[in-house]
Amino acid sequence: MPYDLADRLVIGVASSAVFDLSDSDSVFKREGEEAYRKFQEHNLNNPLPKGIAFPFVKRLLSLNHMRPDPEDPLVEVILLSRNDPDTGLRVMKTIEHYGLGITRAIFMQGRSPYEYIPALNISLFLSGNKSDVDAAIRAGYPAGHVLDSKFDDDEQDHALRIAFDFDGVLASDESESIMQASGLSDFHAHEVANVMNSHGPGPLRDFLIKIAKIQSIEEQFKKQNPDYENRLRVSLVTARNAPSHERALNTLKAWGVMTNDAFFLGGIAKKHVLGVLKPHIFFDDQSAHLEMTSSLVPSVHIPFGITNRDVVAVPKTSKTAKTAKTAKTAKTAKTAKTAKTAKTGKT
């Protein structure tokens, strides 16, 4: 019987998101493909260092302890790599070394694997390769560019904290477009006038919905195991403030989800809050915000919407997820021709 991905949270990760490939990339860029192959073969049994998204992936997979059957996990993480199977073997050995529960992988020699996102029911694709993420977003798929970030992971801390921006990440860029075109006053007026109209979905709406389902399962698990402490905590960290906060909350309710925390900062730098919150991953659509947060927490750029004009796309949503009214979107700006990629390199 086929292994069904339909009722699971499926994450796709490139090795560049989970591991530090700086040495490997340096060899490839400096000496070429043949030297890169020899380097990987020579270091086959030397595990790659942990990368930016490693703490997030490790903790996400740890939630599978709530399912007694290991063949029926809540979370599935699939490796999507630009390596060929031979050069990718070191990555698989590294996964085994760290005890990550990743057993499924796709190797695409020199090609971006993002086209397989819908086939694998992936709700989030993470990569350190910007061009791959941009291409996935243009195609309407949920993807994020993992930025170089500083973060000291406390391995004794078993909690998983996930933080989201709202506009352009969870929701569409409809309101952000008004903000960019007409300013803050018109933005607030628009949100008050549409307070009961749910936002259209952004790239990570379906990911949030599936995370919320796991939180519900965790609540049931806690009822059966009173000493258990909930691990999963979700926070909204947005530049919105009153009166535009209410429409955001109404939208989350319409989607059947609610976050544990909400920070309506109204222009206060997000890094101040995130430095205290210490999420294991933070998603935002604006590079300016992430330039500040990446010095404190693992930060992921979602290159979607009006603030990323060269990448704009409409996210594709699952058939089963509840949908809100989809806002009319601006015509997609002409995109630059994608640069030809090398056979290997960042994956």
- Domain span at residue 106 reads 9-146
CATH code of 82's domain: 3.40.50.1000
| Dmax (CA) of the chain | 63
Question: What is the model's pLDDT at position 150?
Answer: 82
* Residue 113 in this model has a pLDDT that exceeds 90: yes
Give, in order, the Cα–Cα distances in Å from 184 to each of 77, 172, 238. 40, 17, 14
* Residue 344 in this model has a pLDDT that exceeds 50: no
Residue 339 counted as domain residue: no
Asked whether 216 and 241 are in contact (CB, 8 A), the reply is no
Asked whether 137 and 161 are in contact (CB, 8 A), the reply is no
Residue 50 is given by DSSP the state B
* Cα–Cα distance for residue pair 258/235, rounded to 1 Å: 9
Active site residues: 165
In single-letter form, the type of residue at position 155 comes to: E
* Residue 281 in this model has a pLDDT that exceeds 60: yes
DSSP symbols for 202-246 = -TTHHHHHHHHHHHHHHHHHHHHSTT----EEEEEEES--TTTHH
Taking only the tens place, the pLDDT of each residue in 29-41 is: 999 888 999 999 9
Taking only the tens place, the pLDDT of each residue in 158-216 is: 999 999 999 999 999 999 999 999 999 999 999 999 999 999 999 999 999 999 999 99
Residue 244 counted as domain residue: yes
* Cα–Cα distance for residue pair 201/239, rounded to 1 Å: 18
My answer on whether 197 and 253 are in the same domain is: yes
Return the percentage of the chain with pLDDT > 70, whole number: 89
My answer on whether 119 and 228 are in the same domain is: no
Residue 158 is given by DSSP the state -
The helix (run of H) or strand (run of E) holding residue 75 is strand 75-81
pTM: 0.88
Residue 26 counted as domain residue: yes
Taking only the tens place, the pLDDT of each residue in 103-112 is: 999 999 989 9
My answer on whether 182 and 274 are in the same domain is: yes
Residue 3 counted as domain residue: no
My answer on whether 33 and 171 are in the same domain is: no
Question: What is the model's pLDDT at position 311?
Answer: 60
Question: What is the model's pLDDT at position 110?
Answer: 85
Residue 167 is given by DSSP the state B
Token pair recorded at residue 250: 């109404």
User: Which among 52, 129, 37 is positioned nearest to 90, based on CA atoms?
Assistant: 37
My answer on whether 172 and 111 are in the same domain is: no
My answer on whether 93 and 192 are in the same domain is: no
- Total domains present in the chain: 2
My answer on whether 179 and 206 are in the same domain is: yes
Residue 50 counted as domain residue: yes
Taking only the tens place, the pLDDT of each residue in 301-335 is: 999 999 898 765 556 654 444 443 343 343 333 34
Give, in order, the Cα–Cα distances in Å from 281 to each of 181, 258, 286, 297. 30, 18, 15, 7
Average pLDDT in the chain: 90
